[in-house]
Amino acid sequence: MKTKNVLVFLLILAIVGAGIYIAFNGLKVGEFTIDPVSDSMKLGLDIKGGAYVILEADTGAQGDELKGIMEQTKEVLTRRINAMGLTEPNIVLEGENRIRIELPGVQNTQEAIEAIGRTAQLQFMKSDGEVVVTGDQVKDARLSFDPETQQPTVSLEFDSEGARAFQIATRELAALPDQVPNPENSEQFIFNYDKSIIIVLDDQIISSPMVNDEIPNGQAYISGNFTTDSASNLAALIRGGALPVNLIEIQTSAIGPTLGIDSLNTSLDAAWVGILLVLLFMLIYYRVPGFVANVALILYILIVIFALVGLNATLTLPGVAGLILGVGMAVDANVIIFERLKEELRNGKTIRSSIDSGFSKALRTILDANITTFIAAIVLYYFGLGPIKGFAVTLMIGILASMFTAVFVTKFLLKQIVKMDIFKNTKLFGA
């Protein structure tokens, strides 16, 4: 028995064991921290629950013009959703004129959908209808509170062009008298409504404050019957900008988190049972190579899981199916290799030469199978929508990981065992 080979083999087993521990429990060494997979894995809409909506652009544009409009619309919606703090949104274009928005973990789905779909056309106008500043000239918008009433308001900061226009308008309005004679009774005076700045959002007047002084710093605020949430949402809409096109809600669906988690747990239970049965079969039928294949298979699962976490990929139920399918492909590659190995042993070759020859003859078959499946996964990712993309991503990662573990790791471990010189009976290798 060669001590070096034993230590290398045990080291690999220790690495796999450490990977299993970290996957379930995480790791913390000083300031370096790895969260458990259950905490760091992003869960998709079908697992975490939430809502999705499909919006269609109401426009007659076509070709490159339509493509530009949809890209701009997607960008505006992305800014809005990020500003509203909605968790892990997924926004994708569907077809030529539709956008699919997935909002995992959202509680009030209808409110969120209504907020992101609003056109948010903001205008500051004089009483005669002249537009002074538009929402495009707003540099920043945020929630604030009136220092006197403590009511929620929206604080605004204009860009340089908007600040100049707002300063000129407020200077003119501030110079007007506070009161004017009542047209119906010349002896009475009434408020001079021409002194107001009218704030209009989506053709609705939301506030009309009186202007008492010139505002030279490009800052203003919107007051009204706001709650903290409504003021925050309005600020997010203004920061996100105006949509370039009206959107029509085509389809909306909400998924409860309980249903999603139940589906995930059921899928994972089925996966664990299937994987354990596969591990048991490989160990009984192929003996020593089966044990090596089981180690490689566990390493394969760890590689896929940590790769998904590292890529910040979203795990969906189809993604779980892709992971399980990848397990089957990894086992299939080992089966092809081990059957070739058994054939070489029956032909009278030594264990070491049978391993080399078996891997060499099985490699082409394994490559053909995995390359064709990988191409299919690329096609699914390119043309697929929503969860189909998750399935394709998981499958592609699984194929690459299975090629590495089945071809390189399994061969390396088998050679280490042979060099230990403790398993000389060919029956222990399935012959």
CA distance 389 to 35: 25
Residues of the chain with pLDDT under 50: none
Domain of 182, CATH number, reads 3.30.1360.200
Q: Minimal CA–CA distance to 198: which of 208, 188, 185?
A: 208
> Is 31 inside any structural domain?
yes
Residue 237: inside a domain, yes or no? Answer: no
Q: Are residues 67 and 200 in the same domain?
A: no
Same domain, yes or no: 142 and 217: yes
What is the DSSP track for 39-78?
A: HHSEE-HHHH-EEEEEEEE-----HHHHHHHHHHHHHHHH
DSSP letters, 187-199, are EEEEE-GGGBPEE
Asked if 115 and 166 sit in the same domain, the reply is no
Distance of alpha carbon 384 from alpha carbon 372, whole angstroms: 18
pLDDT at 50: 76
> Which CATH number do you get for residue 58?
3.30.70.3400
What Rg, from alpha-carbon coordinates, does the chain have?
Answer: 32
Tokens 């929620």 — which residue?
152
pLDDT at 303: 93
Question: How high is the pLDDT of residue 298?
Answer: 93
| Token output for 263 | 């589906």
Q: In terms of C-beta distances under 8 Å and separation of at least 24 residues, what long-range contacts does 283-286 make, across chains too?
A: 285/430, 286/334, 286/338, 286/429, 286/430
Residues 346, 292 share a domain: yes
Asked if residue 386 and residue 274 are part of one domain, the reply reads yes
Instruction: Output the CA angle 19-21-27, nearest 5 degrees.
Output: 90
pLDDT at 81: 73
CA-CA distance, 154 to 224, in Å (whole number)?
Answer: 9
| Claim to verify: residue 160 and residue 264 sit in the same structural domain | no
| Domain region containing 59 | 50-119+244-255
Q: Is residue 65, in this structure, part of any structural domain at all?
A: yes
Query: CA 35 to CA 312: how far, in whole Å?
Result: 13
Residue 296 lies in a domain: yes
Does residue 235 form part of some domain? no
Burial-class residue 24 by CB neighbours within 10 Å (0-12, 13-18, 19+).
exposed
Please give the pLDDT value at position 419.
83
Q: Are residues 76 and 131 in the same domain?
A: no
Question: Which pTM does this prediction carry?
Answer: 0.64
Same domain, residue pair 138 and 272: no
Q: What is the pLDDT of residue 400?
A: 92
Express each pLDDT in 65-98 by its tens digit. 898 888 878 877 877 677 666 556 778 888 889 9
If asked whether residues 111 and 248 sit together in one domain, one would say yes
State how many domains the chain has.
3
Same domain for 419 and 276: yes
Q: 119 with 246: CB under 8 angstroms? A: yes
CATH of the domain at 286: 1.20.1640.10
Alpha-carbon span 107 to 329, nearest angstrom: 39
Residue 236 resides in a domain: no
Residues 110 and 146 in one domain: no
Q: Rounded to an integer, what distance in angstroms lies between the CA atom of residue 86 and that of residue 114?
A: 13
| Residues 390, 395, 401: CA angle, nearest 5 degrees | 130
Local structure of residue 32 (DSSP, 8 states)? E
Q: Could you tell me if 208 and 108 lie in one domain? A: no
Residue 234 lies in a domain: no
